[in-house]
Structure 1
Amino acid sequence: MTPSYENSMQWLERAEKSIPLGSQTFSKSKMSLPLGAAPLFIEKGLGSQVWDIDGNQYTDFINGLLCISLGYQDPDVDNAIRDQLSSGISFSLPHKLEAQVAELLVELIPCAEMVRFAKNGSDVTSAAIRLARAYTHKDHIAVCGYHGWQDWYIGSTTRNLGVPASTQALTHKFTYNQIDTLEALFADTNNQIAAVILEPVNIAPPEDDFLLKVQQLCKKHGAVLIFDEMITGFRYHLGGAQSYFGVTPDLATFGKGLANGAPLSALVGKKEIMMLMNDIFFSGTFGGEALSLAAAKASLQKMIATNFANDIWQKGEYLINGFNQLTSCGDMFEIKGLAPWTFLQINPGINHCPITIKSWLIQELCKRNILFIGSHNLSYAHSYAEIDALLTCYQELFAQAQQFDADNTLAAMLDGQVIENVFKVR
């Protein structure tokens, strides 16, 4: 049965009168879901489940773009927030929670000798870049992956409107698992690279000691190595992907699941570099906001107590193994990535492009009470039964997609609009 999205459509029309795109986040907007055939507003969440404003219920495999690590309304985290709320939210001086959470991160993360908090990933990746420039007295940056909306990074993408050409010229892309592309950047910039920043893993795992070779190049050329662990942090290992792969960067950024949905990010790293914080003037009113720090403290303590990373690995491997046993994938569907964070890769059909196929698949998953936009963002709250339900839907829908594509009828099966790509970075 096709769900009703009447309220979502009405609220979108209302929101767009005062909010560009009707959303604060591109990946949560009508660009990422087939308009008219998927929900656009969420009312509430509990565990692995969410309810949209039309009352439709879904198993959520988006999980707030991976910021929900333990599950919606985790009782331990929410109780910590309530307890802190009785004392206050923001204060005129630092709160002891700042030191307590920083100490937990120093204990867990290999590169973390000092810690600074902010609110978003873009805050701390940008602070890391400024630190690296101050430390090395160089200006150029080598990037691989997605690192936020600030000028220094977004100027290197197709979303570069408003970024000065002089800023764009300082950031250079290299290709994951192709160390020669990074070597070429050091040569082309006459060894003026201040920092190499990358997601330590995304669609593909590192091959042929790639991360170690990146580290060695940085040491050779005097560049700061930054791991953007916004997603990989705690998910691959409680010490981050740097712990899992055994390569320690100079600086690293964390966020997303750090506080189970509360807004908090962290820049951690070597004391020698982090002490330049005072000189680069990275300062914000809400970095020490106490509710999010209380949520982070409770989240980290629960992740330690429950062996969170091992749980996510096991569920992810279960999903991969089940996917690989499907008989309906054909040449159109593949699973990519390591177990804690996997991607559904959709290949071109005979008559339809991947974006059309993906739009139809999202639509059909919504009809089957599953919320999904392309990656499997597992949380501690997800059950194996819910993973089985997703795989059952895949088995059915993959076969249908290939048949509809061969018949050249899949586009006609869309109840809404084709989704749009924000831009491709992985």
Structure 2
Amino acid sequence: MLQDDKTNSATASHSERLHRVIPGGAHTYSRGDDQYPANAPQILERAKGATVWAADGRSFLDYGMALRAVSIGYSEPAINEAAIQGLEAGNNLTRASVIELEAAERLVDMIDSVDMVKFTKNGSTATSAAVKLARAYTGRDLVARCAQHPFFSYDDWFIGNTPITKGIPASAIEQTKSFAYNDIGSLERLIAEHPGQFACVILEPASTETPATFIEPDGREVNYLQQVEALCRKHGIVFILDEMITGFRWHLKGAQHVYGVTPDLCTFGKAMANGFSVAAVAGRRELMSLGSIDRVGQERLFLLSTTHGAEMCGLAAYLATMDFLERYDVVDHLWAYGADLQAAINAAAEHAGIAKHFYAAGPAVSPYYATVTGEGAPWMELRTLFAQEMIKQGVLMPWLALSYRHGEAELEKTREALAHAMEVCARGVAEGIDKYLIGPAIKPVFRRFN
């Protein structure tokens, strides 16, 4: 039996204490020490609006926004009040709750493709439930997933298709195949290589790229997602859109509405409840009802059965979040702020003379920034230096997640920080990054060895 190391933690750093009791030091790998520069706060204590406070007293304008889970702002009073009402109503009851019904009906009313919904607590559970439904519906095993979309689930069906295969059976690894976004030919070839074997195709509607537009032989203009939908229909494959990030950001009806597609199944999370733990798998009744119990004689599918899946504080926060999004036109604000932020980043990089190494791109509502070498390869040392210098200016920018509480004052603070950071990055590019970097470079999450 392994002996636990329970040494005295009185003089240990927060990082040391975290790693002693939590594998990875946090509950998602993207929060780990290896994803941040050495001067990043080791632990956070609280947050409000678009600001976070570290245990050491420092405060930061935040562009992480709880891994994109907070789209309005931290500790938003209207959302908190609704969640508290859910708590005071009992929070978790013996049978289905009134608020559970109201939340389900609200989602069905909002999203055109959805007839039924099952709530859960995280996105991994929702996407894995969608895959299970697809397999049950088709009687097939294989999953086709988009290679450019970084994360779908912590379950074996997805992680086995990354470099981190330790602990995953070979049979699970073999059941998931990859295709390229905006390249319908790659998916056509994959299906041709495994005829009649794919249960589902799963992808995000958009990530760093948006769907390209094509002209069909008959002259019709279609986008890439519409091509994927048509291909799935042709081959009897379940079409799954993972809207964890795009849902309630691109549009209140989802990115599927923006791009004119009707998935068989879709999954939501992140911006659903402004940081409260709510996710969902939803879709056509024909598939979702495989998990029903009111169809006498139907073979049972154990879809989702989670004690806390319909926790009332989370679902109350979801309903209040939807009200807030509608009342204050949050989606429009996110698109506008993102466009301004992209322009500010690119202007600062251009002014510093490093635009060929540093740029912001992607859909304005969910932009990204890239650091690349002269050959176009990812330059993690430059990314780390940039994050390090932004932290010195009081801005935590691991990626670009936007909220309603990012306003003019926050944009101006960001512009000032960018001017400083880009100047240091330019010196690093010219003289050597190591001269200015105070710790190790950020590493990719999906790598085989630590």
Shorter-chain TM-score above 0.5:
yes
The answer (yes or no) to whether the contact 1:349–1:402 under 8 Å persists in 2 is: no
Q: Following TM superposition, by how much is the alpha carbon of 1:9 offset from its aligned partner in structure 2, in angstroms?
A: 7.0
Residue among 388, 397, 403 paired with 1:363: 388
Query: Match of 1:406?
Result: 430
**Residue type matched to 2:267 in 1?**
T
Cα–Cα, structure 1 residues 9 and 65, in superposed 2: closer, same or farther, change >3 Å? farther
The whole-number CA distance in structure 1 between the counterparts of 2:229 and 2:443 is 36
Q: Distance in 1 between the 2:269 and 2:11 partners?
A: 29
Aligned counterpart, 1:3: none
Shift of 1:287: 0.9
Selected match of 1:348 from 373, 395, 404: 373
Q: CA deviation at 1:411?
A: 1.1
Equivalent runs, 1:60-79 vs 2, <5 Å: 60-79=62-81
Q: TM-score, normalised by structure 1?
A: 0.94
Structure 1: give runs of 5+ residues left out of the alignment: 1-6
Instruction: Output one character per residue of 1:256-309: Cα deviation in whole Å (capped at 9) or x when no partner.
Output: 111111111011100111001233212111111111111111111111111221
Question: Could you say what secondary structure the match of 1:31 adopts?
Answer: helix
Partner Cα separation in structure 2 for residue 387 and residue 218 of structure 1: 43
1:104-152 per-residue CA deviation (whole Å, 9 max, x = no partner) reads: 1111112111110001100000000000011111111100122011011
Q: Which residue does the alignment assign to 1:312?
A: 334
Q: 1:167 aligns with which of 163, 166, 172?
A: 172
Mapping 1:228-267, distance limit 5 Å: 228-267=242-281
2:419 is equivalent to residue 395 of structure 1: yes
Partner of 2:56: 54
| In structure 1, distance between residues paired with 2:167 and 2:48 | 40
Distance 1:94 1:353, change over 3 A: closer
Contact 2:69 2:274 (C-alpha < 8 Å) held by counterparts: yes
Is the contact between residue 8 and residue 54 of structure 1 (CA under 8 Å) also seen in structure 2? no
- 2:113 corresponds to: 111
User: Contact conserved, 1:128 with 1:226, CA < 8 A, in 2?
Assistant: yes
Deviation, 1:196, is 0.4
Moved more, 73-82 or 271-280: 271-280
Q: Is the 8 A contact 1:43 1:51 kept in 2?
A: yes
Match runs of 1:9-408 below 5 Å: 10-35=13-38, 37-144=39-146, 145=149, 146-208=151-213, 209-278=223-292, 279-281=300-302, 282-326=304-348, 327-328=351-352, 329-348=354-373, 354-373=379-398, 375-408=399-432
> 62-71 vs 12-21, which deviates more?
12-21
Residues 77-105 of structure 1: CA distance to partner in whole angstroms, max 9, x if unpaired? 00111222222221111111111111111
**Deviation (angstroms), 1:388:** 2.8
Opposite residue 161 of structure 2, the aligned amino acid is S
Tell me: CA distance 1:9–1:220, structure 2 relative to 1, closer, same or farther (3 Å): farther
Tell me which residue corresponds to 2:5: none
CA contact (8 A) 1:133 1:139 kept: yes
Q: Which amino acid aligns with 2:335?
A: W
Structure 2 distance, partners of 1:169, 1:353, is 29
CA distance in 1, matches of 2:425, 2:12: 26
| SS in structure 2 at match of 1:284 | coil
Match of 1:421 in 2: 444
| 1: CA distance, partners of 2:34 / 2:54 | 17
Taking the aligned partners of 1:202 and 1:125, their CA distance within structure 2 comes to 17
The match for 2:295 is none
- Distance change (3 Å), C-alpha of 1:88 and 1:140: same
Task: Supply the distance in 1 between the matched residues of 2:162 and 2:82 (Cα, whole angstroms).
Answer: 40
Q: Which whole-Å CA distance do the structure 1 matches of 2:408 and 2:114 have between them?
A: 34
Contact 1:361 1:397 in 2 (8 A): yes
Aligned residues: 414
Query: Which residue type is aligned with residue 138 of structure 1?
Result: R
Structure 2, unpaired ranges of 5+: 1-9, 214-222, 293-299
Cα pair 2:389 2:424 within 8 Å, conserved:
no
CA distance in 2, matches of 1:124, 1:194: 16
| SS of corresponding position for 2:16 | helix
Deviation larger for 165-174 or 396-405: 396-405
Letter of the aligned partner of 2:20 in structure 1? Answer: K
Amino acid at match of 1:196: V
Task: Give the match's secondary structure for 1:17.
Answer: helix
SS at match of 1:196: strand
Root-mean-square deviation (CA, aligned residues, Å) is 1.7
Which one-letter code corresponds to 2:397 in the other structure? F
2:12, 2:51 → 1: CA distance?
21
Q: CA deviation at 1:323?
A: 3.3
The code of the aligned residue for 1:204 comes to: E
Give the drift of 1:423: 2.0
Question: What's the % identity of the aligned pairs?
Answer: 36
Q: Which amino acid in 2 is paired with 1:361?
A: F
SS at match of 2:35: coil
Alpha-carbon spacing, 1:389–1:110, altered in 2? closer, same or farther (3 Å):
same
Deviation at 1:22, TM superposition (A): 1.5
Deviation at 1:393, TM superposition (A): 2.3
User: How far apart are the structure 2 equivalents of 1:128 and 1:202?
Assistant: 20
